[in-house]
């Protein structure tokens, strides 16, 4: 059986973690393909005996299913301290991690200087109004990917040989000190301290490290089903997002192949996770943003505060111009619509179907230049809302007709059906299908 890739269709925080957790029940392997500890995938469940909520930053969202192997692929930038901390916390909950977690030997490492460089860069950008701060998560993601592509990164495999690590680090740190001291006036870094710290990490990380691409391809050859988990969202993709207000990796479908080392021919399904409204953390254009009372209502009802940084998320109406664009870039074969319950009681609902460009022309095309995107005016269709609490629904048929019409509107505009609809944070609050009965929806994880 092939690969199913789960992709955020907006600016991240769509609820991918919850979906991947659910799909893990039937998956043979769950593999994360990009990003780093900037992600925050919240998993909530209540199995009758215990109720847990856990925010995963690096470890794939399949880890709470005993027996399911989880892979951190080569496309991820790994913060060793963060992954070890996460392993410890998950083991403290009684789950076995060592037997199941595999970390790519080719993954690049986040080094302490990546966070320092990032903080200095963001501070400098904030001072310069022509080049505003990105509003990053501060996890060193951008500088780590910069080093990777500049071919001066340190990889997991480098930890195996302390003398090689020392040589590479000495070179890297000379370079970083020149920038930190010379450009940003920051304190220089000490090589010995960092070598010692990372050699100590190696002793702990070693049991998890392997050639994960080979592992995954062997699994595919054995007919196993891999769920590939993306982090962030398509509109934060470094190529397809609202550049430069993006992350530094490829959350879009293509990132799955390069970030795991699996062939594109193995990817059979691309599930687009669509939050029923829009949110964004960090800076950058957001055409349907609601800065007044309705935005505040969405933030409160949806608990829209960053899972990694705690920052309040910016909230707005659903943007189908942006979604049609990401559906096309990713080739979604099905959608999962999440947080539909948050819209209950909001009154009439607006959905953006076109943008008015600064010259007055209307378009359904998502502009690629941030300068245009910042100045478009969203054109809305208004749909009737519903007042009923829908969190207790157990089948799509239980939803009020207005909620089903809202789902149908999304499906029709994007020309993709919803395989699932989520109406609350718990595992059982996921309905099979969208507006159509489940039997007419595309096949879901098996």
Contact yes or no for 128/134 (Cβ under 8 A): no
* Residue 77 within binding range of ligand IMP, rule CB under 6 A: no
| Interacting residue with ligand IMP among 10, 34, 104, 136 (CB under 6 A) | 136
| Minimum CB distance to ligand IMP smaller for 323 or for 390 | 323
Shortest distance, position 140 Cβ to ligand IMP, whole Å: 8
* Residue 9 within binding range of ligand IMP, rule CB under 6 A: no
* Residue 121 within binding range of ligand IMP, rule CB under 6 A: no
Shortest distance, position 432 Cβ to ligand IMP, whole Å: 27
Contact yes or no for 373/287 (Cβ under 8 A): yes
| Interacting residue with ligand IMP among 282, 287, 316, 424 (CB under 6 A) | 282
* Residue 141 within binding range of ligand IMP, rule CB under 6 A: yes
- Please list the active-site residues: 13, 41
Strands (E), 202-361: 209-210, 226-229, 267-275, 278-280, 314-316, 318-319, 334-338, 349-356
Collapsed DSSP state (helix, strand, coil) of residue 19: helix
| Dihedral sign (CA 59, 61, 62, 63) | positive
* Residue 259 within binding range of ligand IMP, rule CB under 6 A: no
* Residue 419 within binding range of ligand IMP, rule CB under 6 A: no
Strands (E), 127-266: 209-210, 226-229
Shortest distance, position 45 Cβ to ligand IMP, whole Å: 21
* Residue 59 within binding range of ligand IMP, rule CB under 6 A: no
User: CA 24, CA 332: separation in Å to the nearest integer?
Assistant: 20
Six-digit token pair at 197?
């710290």
| Minimum CB distance to ligand IMP smaller for 60 or for 282 | 282
| Minimum CB distance to ligand IMP smaller for 247 or for 422 | 247
Collapsed DSSP state (helix, strand, coil) of residue 161: coil
| Interacting residue with ligand IMP among 236, 276, 324, 373 (CB under 6 A) | 236
Strand partners, 77: 108
| Interacting residue with ligand IMP among 5, 30, 39, 189 (CB under 6 A) | 39
Collapsed DSSP state (helix, strand, coil) of residue 199: helix
Residues that bind ligand IMP in the complex, under the rule CB under 6 A: 11-13, 38-40, 134-137, 139, 141-142, 231-232, 236, 245, 247-248, 281-282
């Amino acid at each position: 059986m092939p690969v199913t890739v789960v992709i955020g269709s907006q600016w991240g925080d769509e609820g991918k973690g919850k979906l991947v957790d659910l799909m893990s029940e039937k998956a043979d392997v769950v593999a994360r393909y990009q990003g780093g500890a900037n992600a925050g995938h919240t998993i909530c469940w209540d199995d009758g005996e215990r109720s847990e909520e856990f925010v995963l930053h690096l470890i794939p969202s399949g880890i709470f299913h005993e027996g399911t192997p989880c892979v951190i692929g080569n496309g991820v930038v790994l913060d060793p301290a963060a992954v070890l901390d996460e392993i410890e916390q998950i083991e403290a909950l009684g789950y076995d991690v060592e037997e199941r977690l595999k970390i790519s030997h080719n993954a690049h490492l986040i080094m302490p200087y990546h966070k320092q460089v990032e903080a200095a860069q963001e501070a400098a950008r904030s001072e310069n109004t022509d080049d505003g701060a990105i509003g990053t998560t501060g996890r060193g993601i951008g500088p780590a990917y910069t080093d990777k592509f500049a071919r001066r990164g340190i990889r997991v495999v480098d930890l195996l040989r302390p003398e090689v690590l020392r040589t590479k680090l000495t070179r890297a740190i000379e370079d970083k000190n020149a920038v930190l001291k010379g450009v940003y006036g920051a304190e220089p870094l000490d090589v010995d301290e960092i070598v010692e710290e990372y050699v100590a990490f190696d002793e702990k990380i070693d049991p998890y490290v392997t050639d994960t691409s080979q592992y995954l391809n062997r699994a595919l050859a054995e007919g196993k089903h891999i769920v590939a988990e993306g982090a962030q969202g398509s509109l934060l993709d470094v190529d397809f997002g609202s550049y430069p207000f993006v992350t530094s990796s490829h959350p879009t479908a293509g990132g799955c192949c390069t970030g795991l080392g699996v062939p594109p021919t193995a990817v059979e399904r691309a599930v687009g996770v669509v939050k029923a409204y829009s949110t964004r953390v960090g800076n950058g254009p957001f055409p349907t943003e609601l800065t007044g009372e309705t935005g505040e209502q969405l933030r409160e009802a949806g608990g829209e505060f960053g899972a990694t940084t705690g920052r309040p998320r910016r909230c707005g109406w659903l943007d189908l111009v942006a979604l049609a664009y990401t559906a096309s870039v990713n080739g979604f074969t099905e959608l999962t619509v999440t947080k539909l319950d948050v819209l209950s009681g909001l009154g009439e609902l607006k959905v953006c179907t076109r943008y008015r460009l600064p010259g007055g022309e209307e378009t359904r095309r998502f502009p690629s230049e941030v300068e245009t995107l910042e100045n478009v005016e969203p054109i809305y269709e208004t749909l009737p809302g519903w007042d009923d609490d829908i969190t207790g629904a157990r089948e799509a048929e239980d939803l009020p007709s207005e909620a089903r019409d809202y789902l149908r509107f999304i499906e029709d505009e994007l020309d993709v059906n919803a395989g699932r609809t989520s109406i609350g944070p718990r595992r059982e609050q996921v309905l099979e299908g969208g507006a159509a009965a489940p039997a007419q929806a595309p096949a879901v994880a098996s």
